[in-house]
Amino acid sequence: MHWLFDATWTIAGNDILWREIVGNGFGLASAVGGMRRRVWAWPVGIAGNVLLFTVFLGGVFHTPQARDLYGQAGRQVFFVAVSVYGWVRWRQARAEGRAQGNRDAPAVVPHWAGRRGWIQLVSIGVVGTVAFAYIFQALGSWGPWADAWIFTGSFLATYGMARGWIEFWLIWIAVDAVGVPLLFAAGYYPSAVLYLVYAGVVIWGFAVWWRQRDRARPADGDRELPRQPLLLAE
């Protein structure tokens, strides 16, 4: 088990942990499952989160990079917590749809977050980034401000996915824009490359959810923004 935990793959003279590659593979599968609104996306994502937690605490677990990215590691913990919430929420929604006679009922109906949702996203985004930047800096994180936004933005995106908010895809784009340079600079190459792949999946997912957005007000009372003309080709 010790050998399996520390197994590496050497690429261009750099030792890459297999668990970083596998963990990111689970993450990519979870993103695709989320785009397709499949409940299995949540447990698959949790498996990847557990692996990546050990990867980003490089100094603690003695990884080849030996750099601690507390935001990257800490967000894996939040991912697990929010993913459990999303898993339960999507299972309940799918069960309700099937109880009404729709055996092909999706786990969630995409809709805009609305004014109240945007207030939540912006407020938590600003306060969370500033607060965690100081915390990560005190802990000795490598790149605390970028790490803080990645941490906060990832939490917001995962929460938005659980709620069925279309905007969560846009938050992922903003996270990727900061995460790719940080991960390349820190030497986490598989994660950086996967972030680039994520960008393509995220844009695709945003288009898919936008086309499937609900015309009605969500059942939980969130107020939707007015629908805009559909510009994407059917």
- Domain locations along the chain: 17-211
Q: Which of 192, 160, 165 is nearest to 69 (CA)?
A: 192
Tell me the mean pLDDT in the region 176-186: 86
What CA–CA distance (Å, rounded) separates 97 from 142? 46
pLDDT one-digit tens code per residue, 72-89: 777 788 888 888 999 998
Looking at every residue in the chain, the average pLDDT score rounds to 79
For the whole model, what pTM was predicted? 0.71
Cβ atoms within 10 A of the Cβ of 233, count?
Answer: 6
DSSP category for residue 187 = T
